[in-house]
């Protein structure tokens, strides 16, 4: 594939007027920020829901302001909405659509995304999806209680519980709309990377962030289509009397008019999307961590090619492991072998990445600015969350651990908090470029240390709970004797959660205060090498002010022998030999 | 800052490892034939992953401190990596992960690929919002037919699963809300669900299997110790999920026969 020369301009002039500039904008930078702030809103909604859940688990009779008292079904609605909002509107939205939209075109030297109108449309479609899911809280019966995985027939029958009426319809409609938006976004990302790279920006000179966004977009294109179809079938089952997922069932003595459907079909379709989704959430974080570890260690990334191949193999293997969510589902026990082996295989490229991150720090000169702290935290969380994977990937160990807090601890560390650390790293790192000012370092550090210790205090004990057999999605632990003994550990987790969630206020204040009052940032405050640091801060409408960048070097040329500075920018003329 | 990072990463790592190693919270006491195998595989996996966890976290903490930027620090070594190391690392991880997996496969196969032994005690489990029912086929060894139209959860037991009372095979079927099992005898389990998916989870037996509406899932396991063991629903099934539990009584063969005879008598 030959890198093409980018167009000289974005194809659309700088917009005039508030609406065209900030609301229905075609500029990928504005759209990136819109996605970012949508995700920021969503993350606070999601976090608030988790806070209510933690409070209810420990003080079940507490009557809370705004919320009232929490019933068992309310608890299940909270966990459903927490999971759905976090996975779709935070983990999928900020790292890929937010940062990707803003920085992908700039990092490859393009004036905008390939299809600016489609880009605007995909943001506003996502926005509609968010409104629809929030609406589910306010309809009769409230939000659905079937969990973010929405297993049929619980999710397919209107009388299986409170929240399963209109709330569940809104839930699945929101997801379907989100899928449409993500398909548009994925198409745009892939086209942009293949067609709009600047002269000299070969694929193997792209920053690893771009590789991550590229592979994530391919995953999104292949996965969201399946979820969209699965969601439409679920809507048909719920409203038009079809039986895709519902066999002959009797709910509370009432024979339902369905027969012949397969509850396992939903699980296959859902996880065919659901597992790649895990990588959609985490790959951009891996890209950011790679970028930052190299930049702040002042050393080229260890094994660039291995990193690229690792991202690609994670992308490919990510599509053949979905069955590891279904070892206990009644699926053929023979197929468990195949899924299990493939799952163990996907651990290998993940391990390579960890090794290379450590190799990047080794013999470097590490600078501890806040973005780097978060990148280091990302590696730590990725290791911790990753190593519980080989337990769950073995069907025989999944028997005691499946659907326990062990799983909750595992996926929160790796796809939840590690991905969030990727976003924090990205925020602290790119903030100066986006807003032209620096964030406060001291408060950044305070925020980092509380958040790192806090997340471990929340999620590490969940592994212990899971080993002891504590089942997830229980609104109370008072009914089962062996589970009652574990309540003290649950109490500890709740206190850790209250502290950690409160500490996020530091971040929000730092973010908004620095936006207006932070010290002015130079064009390249971190002395980094990639293209976004060659242009003005914040970047002009067409990103490079009419200039078309020409790339002469790889993305991570730090401490090159013979170079005048300790970094060689990608656009620097060829005066020193780099690799 | 380097030292603070080293400290926090090391403390988190060592404290986490301590609670694993001290087994402060651990798998509950195992009381089935497969429990020792599963626990063995768990311990092996735990030991190997524990070593990797310690090595990775401790070296992360050490490296960021050792190579911190400071006046007089050694110049950075300009390097793009090392292919040989890369290959060694990949091969080692592949062998470790896939080897572990193959070892565990044996246990999985023993429980699931072979049919139950001929002398196994047959029990059918029916799950519904939010109760468990256990059916024993009686002297004829045959489960009587059930019909969805007859299902009446409020009446409990036979009526709850919709047993056809008129069928001869149904006559000696016993349906109860508590599960009794004879010790050291294989259980030939059939799992069914009336409404939504539930999951039959007895932590002490290291046994879990979803009960799926529309399917009759056959499984087998062998309890090995007399006692009472808690059964919990492990698949989200609705608002009463958290209280959908039960007790499995593992008793001697004589006590089991006596209990079953008493249930038969009650039914007549």
What fold is seen in the domain B2-69+79-112?
Helix Hairpins (1.10.287)
Instruction: Answer whether residue A5 shows pLDDT above 60.
Output: no
pLDDT at residue A14 in the model? 76
Residue of chain B nearest A261, judged by CA positions:
B214
Question: What are the tens digits of pLDDT across the range A226-243?
Answer: 999 999 999 999 999 999
Helix (H, G, I), strand (E, B) or coil at A161: coil
Of B52, B74, B89, the CB nearest to A387: B52
CB contact under 8 A, B101 and A449: no
Of A261, A358, A481, the CB nearest to B60: A358
Kindly report the average pLDDT of chain A as a whole number: 94
* Cβ(B223)–Cβ(B184) below 8 Å: yes
Closest listed residue to residue A471, CA positions, set A400, A422, A520, A523: A400
pLDDT at residue A579 in the model? 62
pLDDT at residue A3 in the model? 40
In angstroms, the Cα distances linking B120 to A353, B139, B222 are 49, 14, 9
Of B76, B194, B210, the CB nearest to A330: B210
CB contact under 8 A, A483 and B232: yes
pLDDT at residue A1 in the model? 36
| pLDDT > 70: percent of chain A | 98
Average pLDDT rounded to a whole number, residues A504-522: 97
Helix (H, G, I), strand (E, B) or coil at A568: strand
Average pLDDT rounded to a whole number, residues A210-233: 97
* Cβ(A247)–Cβ(A262) below 8 Å: yes
Q: Which residue has better confidence, A450 or B109? A: A450
CB contact under 8 A, A366 and B75: no
pLDDT at residue A67 in the model? 79
Residue of chain A nearest B41, judged by CA positions:
A397
Task: Tell me which chain B residues have a C-beta less than 8 angstroms from the C-beta of A257.
Answer: none
Of A356, A368, A445, the CB nearest to B81: A356
A373 CB within 8 Å of a chain B CB: yes
| Residues 6 or more apart whose Cβ sits within 8 Å of residue A422 | A95, A282, A284, A285, A286, A288, A289, A374, A378
Domains and their CATH numbers in chain A:
26-261 (1.20.210.10), 518-579 (no CATH)
Instruction: Answer whether residue A88 shows pLDDT above 50.
Output: yes
R_g (Cα) of chain A, nearest Å: 24
Residue of chain B nearest A161, judged by CA positions:
B238
Q: Which of residues 105-164 of B touch A (CB under 8 A)?
A: 105, 107-109, 112-113, 128-129, 148-149, 151-154, 162
pLDDT at residue B105 in the model? 78
A480 CB within 8 Å of a chain B CB: yes
**Locus of tokens 């060689």:** A568
* Cβ(A500)–Cβ(A458) below 8 Å: yes
Q: Which of A4-8, A208-212, A249-253, A420-424 is the least confident region?
A: A4-8
Please report, for chain B, the start and end positions of each structural domain, with discontinuous segments joined by +. Answer: 2-69+79-112, 121-267
Question: What are the tens digits of pLDDT across the range B197-253?
Answer: 999 999 999 999 999 999 999 999 999 999 999 999 999 999 999 999 999 999 999
Question: What are the tens digits of pLDDT across the range A41-80?
Answer: 999 999 999 999 999 999 998 888 777 889 999 999 999 9
pLDDT at residue A11 in the model? 59
A400 CB within 8 Å of a chain B CB: yes
Instruction: Answer whether residue A6 shows pLDDT above 50.
Output: no
CB contact under 8 A, A396 and B108: yes
Residue of chain A nearest B37, judged by CA positions:
A396
Q: Which of A9-23, A333-347, A414-428, B116-130 is the least confident region?
A: A9-23
A368 CB within 8 Å of a chain B CB: yes
Instruction: Answer whether residue A329 shows pLDDT above 90.
Output: yes
Q: Given 3.40.50.300, 2.60.40.420, 3.30.70.3040, 3.90.1150.10, which CATH number is that of B121-267?
A: 2.60.40.420
| pLDDT > 70: percent of chain B | 100
| Number of CB atoms found within 10 A of residue A61's CB | 7
**Locus of tokens 């909405």:** A81
In chain B, how long is the greatest CA-to-CA distance?
92
Average pLDDT rounded to a whole number, residues B147-161: 92
What is the dihedral angle through the alpha carbons of B29, A53, A395, A324, rounded to the nearest 10 degrees? Answer: 180
CB contact under 8 A, A452 and B8: yes
In angstroms, the Cα distances linking A371 to A355, A366, A375 are 20, 12, 6
pLDDT at residue A10 in the model? 55
Kindly report the average pLDDT of chain B as a whole number: 93
Instruction: Answer whether residue B85 shows pLDDT above 50.
Output: yes
Q: Which of residues 378-397 of A touch B (CB under 8 A)?
A: 379-380, 383-384, 387-388, 390-391, 393-397
Chain A nearest C-alpha distance from B229 (Å):
9
Residue of chain A nearest B69, judged by CA positions:
A365
pLDDT at residue A21 in the model? 84
* Cβ(A143)–Cβ(A53) below 8 Å: no
R_g (Cα) of chain B, nearest Å: 26
Of A347, A380, A400, the CB nearest to B57: A380
CB contact under 8 A, A344 and B113: no
Give the pair of three-digit tokens for residue A297.
Answer: 């260690």
In chain A, how long is the greatest CA-to-CA distance?
81
Closest listed residue to residue B161, CA positions, set B137, B196, B186, B125: B125
Average pLDDT rounded to a whole number, residues A102-117: 97
B203 CB within 8 Å of a chain A CB: yes
B-interface mutation test, from A379, A480, A579, most B Cβ less than 10 A away: A480
Question: What are the tens digits of pLDDT across the range A356-409?
Answer: 999 999 999 999 999 999 999 999 999 999 999 999 999 999 999 999 999 999
pLDDT at residue B109 in the model? 81
| pLDDT > 90: percent of chain A | 91
Distance of alpha carbon A398 from alpha carbon A392, whole angstroms: 5
CB contact under 8 A, B236 and A154: yes
Q: Which residue has better confidence, B23 or A369? A: A369
| Number of CB atoms found within 10 A of residue A451's CB | 24
Distance of alpha carbon A403 from alpha carbon B38, whole angstroms: 17
Q: Which of residues 9-38 of B touch A (CB under 8 A)?
A: 9, 12, 16, 19-20, 24-28, 37-38
**Locus of tokens 């509609």:** A128
Q: How confident is the model at residue B169 (pLDDT cuts 50, 70, 90)?
A: very high
CB contact under 8 A, B63 and A449: no
Q: How confident is the model at residue A217 (pLDDT cuts 50, 70, 90)?
A: very high
Q: What is the pTM of this model?
A: 0.95
pLDDT at residue A19 in the model? 84
Q: Which of residues 11-40 of A touch B (CB under 8 A)?
A: none
**Locus of tokens 């034939």:** B33
Of B16, B108, B238, the CB nearest to A395: B108
A251 CB within 8 Å of a chain B CB: yes
* Cβ(A116)–Cβ(A26) below 8 Å: yes
Average pLDDT rounded to a whole number, residues A270-290: 97
A479 CB within 8 Å of a chain B CB: yes
Distance of alpha carbon A424 from alpha carbon A411, whole angstroms: 18
Closest listed residue to residue A496, CA positions, set A454, A449, A459, A451: A454
B-interface mutation test, from A471, A486, A577, most B Cβ less than 10 A away: A471
Closest listed residue to residue A406, CA positions, set A388, A418, A383: A388
């Amino acid at each position: 594939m030959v890198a093409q020369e980018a167009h000289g301009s974005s194809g659309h002039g700088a917009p005039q007027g508030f609406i065209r500039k900030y609301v229905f904008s075609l500029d990928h930078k504005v759209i990136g920020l819109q996605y970012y702030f949508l995700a920021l809103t969503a993350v606070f909604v999601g976090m608030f829901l988790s806070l209510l859940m933690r409070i209810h688990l420990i003080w079940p009779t507490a009557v809370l302001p705004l919320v009232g008292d929490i019933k068992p079904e309310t608890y299940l609605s909270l966990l459903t909405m927490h999971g759905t909002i976090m996975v779709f509107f935070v983990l999928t939205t900020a790292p890929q659509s937010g940062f990707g939209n803003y920085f992908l075109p700039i990092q490859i030297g393009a004036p905008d995304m390939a299809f600016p109108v489609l880009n605007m449309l995909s943001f506003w479609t996502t926005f509609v999806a968010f409104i629809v899911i929030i609406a589910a809280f306010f309809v009769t019966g409230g939000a659905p209680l079937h969990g973010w995985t929405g297993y049929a027939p619980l999710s397919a029958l209107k009388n299986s519980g409170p929240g399963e009426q209109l709330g569940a319809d809104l839930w699945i409609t929101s997801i379907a709309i989100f899928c449409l938006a993500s398909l548009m976004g994925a198409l745009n990302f892939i086209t942009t990377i293949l067609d709009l790279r600047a002269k000299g920006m070969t694929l193997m000179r792209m920053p690893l962030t771009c590789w991550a966004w590229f592979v994530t977009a391919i995953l999104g294109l292949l996965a969201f289509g399946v979820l969209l179809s699965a969601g439409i079938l679920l809507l048909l089952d719920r409203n038009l009397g079809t039986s895709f997922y519902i066999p002959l069932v009797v709910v509370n003595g009432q024979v339902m008019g369905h027969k012949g459907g397969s509850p396992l079909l939903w699980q296959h379709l859902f996880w065919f999307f659901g597992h790649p989704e895990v990588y959609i959430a985490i790959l951009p974080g891996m890209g950011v961590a790679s970028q930052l570890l190299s930049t702040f260690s002042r050393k080229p990334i260890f094994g660039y090619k291995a990193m690229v191949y690792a991202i690609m193999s994670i992308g490919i293997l990510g599509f053949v492991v979905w069955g590891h969510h279904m070892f206990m589902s009644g699926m053929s026990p023979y197929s468990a072998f195949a899924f299990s082996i493939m799952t163990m295989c996907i651990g290998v490229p993940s391990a390579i990445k960890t090794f290379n991150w450590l190799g990047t720090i080794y013999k470097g000169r590490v600078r501890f600015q806040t973005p780097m702290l978060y990148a280091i935290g990302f590696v730590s969380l990725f290791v911790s969350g990753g190593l519980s994977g080989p337990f769950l990937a073995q069907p025989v160990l999944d028997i005691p651990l499946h659907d326990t807090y062990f799983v909750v601890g595992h996926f929160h560390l790796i796809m939840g908090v590690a991905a969030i650390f990727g976003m924090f790293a990205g925020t602290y790192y790119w903030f100066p470029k986006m807003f032209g000012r620096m964030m406060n370092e001291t408060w950044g550090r305070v925020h980092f240390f509380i958040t790192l210790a806090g997340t471990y205090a929340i999620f590490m004990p969940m592994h212990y709970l899971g080993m002891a057999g504590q089942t997830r999605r229980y609104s109370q632990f008072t009914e089962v004797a062996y589970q009652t003994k574990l309540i003290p550990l649950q109490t500890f987790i709740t206190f850790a959660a209250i502290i950690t969630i409160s500490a996020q206020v530091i971040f929000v204040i730092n973010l908004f205060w620095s936006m207006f009052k932070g010290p002015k940032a130079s064009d390249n405050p971190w002395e980094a090498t990639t293209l976004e640091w060659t242009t003005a801060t914040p970047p002009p409408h067409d990103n490079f002010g009419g200039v078309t960048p020409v790339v002469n070097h790889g993305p991570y040329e730090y401490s090159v022998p013979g170079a005048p500075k300790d970094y060689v920018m990608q656009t620097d003329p060829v005066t020193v030999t780099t690799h | 800052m380097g030292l603070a990072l080293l400290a926090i990463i090391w403390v988190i790592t060592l404290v986490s490892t301590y609670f694993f190693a001290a087994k402060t919270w651990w798998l509950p006491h195992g009381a089935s034939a497969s429990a020792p195998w599963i626990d063995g595989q768990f311990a092996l996996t735990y030991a190997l992953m524990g070593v990797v966890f310690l090595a990775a976290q401790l070296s992360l903490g050490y490296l960021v401190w050792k190579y911190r930027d400071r006046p007089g620090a050694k110049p950075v070594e300009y390097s793009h990596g090392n292919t040989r190391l890369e290959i060694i690392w990949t091969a080692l991880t592949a062998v470790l992960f896939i080897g572990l997996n193959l070892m565990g496969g044996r246990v999985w196969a023993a429980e699931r690929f072979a049919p139950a032994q001929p002398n196994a005690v047959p029990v059918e489990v029916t799950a519904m919002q939010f109760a468990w029912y256990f059916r024993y086929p009686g002297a004829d060894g045959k489960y009587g037919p059930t019909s969805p139209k007859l299902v009446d959860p409020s009446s409990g037991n036979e009526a709850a699963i919709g047993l056809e009372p008129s069928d001869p095979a149904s006559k000696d079927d016993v349906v109860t809300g508590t599960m009794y099992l004879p010790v050291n005898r294989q259980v030939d389990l059939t799992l069914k669900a009336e409404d939504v998916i539930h999951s039959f989870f007895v932590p002490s037996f290291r046994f879990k299997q979803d009960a799926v509406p529309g399917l009759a899932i056959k499984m087998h396991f062998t309890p090995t110790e007399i006692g009472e063991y808690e059964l919990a629903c492990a698949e989200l099934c609705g608002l009463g999920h958290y209280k959908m539990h039960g007790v499995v009584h593992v008793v001697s063969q004589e006590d089991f026969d006596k209990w079953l005879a008493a249930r038969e008598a009650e039914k007549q």
